[in-house]
Amino acid sequence: ALALNGRDCSTQRRFQKIFEEGPPTIAPKDVFRQMELSAQRLTQSIGYIGAGTVEYLYNAASNKYFFLELNPRLQVEHPVTEGITGVNLPSVQLQVAMGIALYRIPEIREFFGENPTSAEPIDFMKQNYRYPTNHVIAARITAENPDEGFKPTSGKIERVKFQSTNKVWGYFSVGANGGIHEFADSQFGHLFASGRTREEARKALVLALKEIDVRGDIRTTVEYLIKLLETKEFKDNTIDTSWLDGLIREKSISVLVDPQTVALSAAVYKAHSHVLTHTKDFIESLSKGQTSLQSLPSMLSFPVEVTYDSVKYSFAAKLMGPNYFLLRINGQTISARIREQPDKSLLCNISGNSFQLFGHVEPLGLRMKINGATVMIPTVYNPSELRSDVTGKIVRFLQQDRDFVEKDEPYVEVEAMKMIMAFKATESGVIRHNLSPGSIISAGDLVASLTLKDPTKVKQISTFSDRLQSVPAAPSLTGAEAAEAIRLALDGYEQEAEVAL
């Protein structure tokens, strides 16, 4: 039996690995060598044949390690081991199954610094291998929502964009027009970053994660992983197996976007979608011989409302030209010019600031990606309605029908993507079951209703009555802009022609 170095999988959530890296740097090399020898003696004593993974718990304070389990198989992070040893593990498995001795396999001989074409026996218990000169970090890409305690998500995938480089290799089990169903595991991709040092590998992984673009019904943990990699604890390697669960519990890692920027971005997206929808309907009407122009005014000037973070923003939108809008709110005027890309994302110039926007309408609201940061703008539901945000199956209700339930108390267990999760009540009150155990549910479905204990405690929606601080004052028209305004006025768009002249 031989040991091919090892991996550190301390970054875990609910006992599921998030990052895995090698070689392990937290344990001194002499202690880690004893771990390897213990693993070799264990597998030899039981006559084990094939590849396996021996797992230990290591206590850095006492410098002691404890046996955890033996996994009699390859694990999905095996490319980490291959990246630091140069040994192709599936290939070695096949050669062992063919009866070839380990010391005769060329890649293993090279790993131990021996002539790959020789057949001299190697004492793997006594002879040391050449210690790895690089570091590899793996990151699992999962269809989970980090904003909701990493609840699994499912649905159609419209686009997966990632390009491997000489420093980062990755694979995905789904592609464009594919999807992840509610009975599957949430992992659908894996990235492996390599560098001469742990810090080089970490930086390469951060850059690679920033290049990933996944669009569709699902949520991913990509943005959250970037934040984790940038924490001081991960950089200093002072983490343990409870570290990530603690961060999730305290909600200390989040991807924040200014609320006013979210509201303005959503308004621009909604205005663009409104015009596209009305244009399509108008063209269809013309194709049927219906020549009424009654719908045009509502396409040229219309209200747009966005409610986010318990604040309602009321915009008045006006189409000033092709892909050119003016939005007014509380006496403030914002211009927005839009270019729709082939992937349906919007490149926008909003009062001189550049944005890349992507929107996806879901049963629970509008999911926006604003310059790479994902934000959920939920539909304003009645707080007495308890709705599902996942697709799955109701396992059981935790209270009887018409029982009292406290705010944040679990009221139902749901099975989704091989996990059992509990939904919590948003307010206190008497619960009424709208569905029965065994029912299949989708995101947005009404699971139960509440008769609220104290309706006055429900969070109220306030109306935004200030100026948007992120928008600079509108500059005077340039000559080119004035000429464009006149041209658009001649084309029939409502313009301030006198100002332009």
d(CA 425, CA 437): 17
Indicate the length of the chain as a whole number.
501
| pLDDT for the residue 290 | 77
| pLDDT for the residue 362 | 84
Mean pLDDT check: name the lowest of 230-239, 275-284, 287-296: 287-296
d(CA 193, CA 222): 15
pLDDT band of 81, cuts 50, 70, 90: very high
Strand partners, 335: 326
pLDDT band of 457, cuts 50, 70, 90: low
Interval 473-500: pLDDT, tens: 666 666 776 677 677 766 667 766 565 5
Percent of the chain with pLDDT over 70: 95
For tokens 């498995």, the residue is 93
Interval 362-401: pLDDT, tens: 888 899 999 988 898 988 777 888 998 888 899 999 999 9
| pLDDT for the residue 496 | 66
With 0-12 CB in 10 A as exposed, 13-18 as middle and 19+ as buried, what is 65?
A: middle
Query: If you average pLDDT over every residue of the chain, what do you get?
Result: 89
**Cα dist from 314 to 12, 311, 330, 412, whole Å:** 43, 10, 8, 36
| pLDDT for the residue 285 | 83
Q: What is the DSSP string of 283-309?
A: HHHHHTT----TTHHHHHEEEEEEEET
**Cβ atoms within 10 Å, residue 73:** 11
Q: Is residue 8 over pLDDT 80? A: yes
Q: Which residue has the higher pLDDT, 381 or 461?
A: 461
CB 90 within 8 Å of CB 73: no
Is 73 one of the catalytic residues?
yes
Residue 180 tokens read as 């992840």
Interval 310-360: pLDDT, tens: 899 999 999 988 899 999 999 898 999 999 988 889 999 998 889 999 999
Strand partners, 375: 368
Q: Containing H/E element for 498?
A: helix 497-500
DSSP conformational letter for 459? P
Q: Is residue 155 over pLDDT 90? A: no
Helix (H, G, I), strand (E, B) or coil at 387: strand
User: From the DSSP assignment, how many helices (H) and strands (E) are in the chain?
Assistant: 12, 30
Residue 141 tokens read as 């890409």
**Cβ atoms within 10 Å, residue 468:** 20
| pLDDT for the residue 474 | 64
Catalytic residue among 14, 73, 402, 467: 73
d(CA 213, CA 265): 19
d(CA 44, CA 1): 6
| pTM of the shown model | 0.78
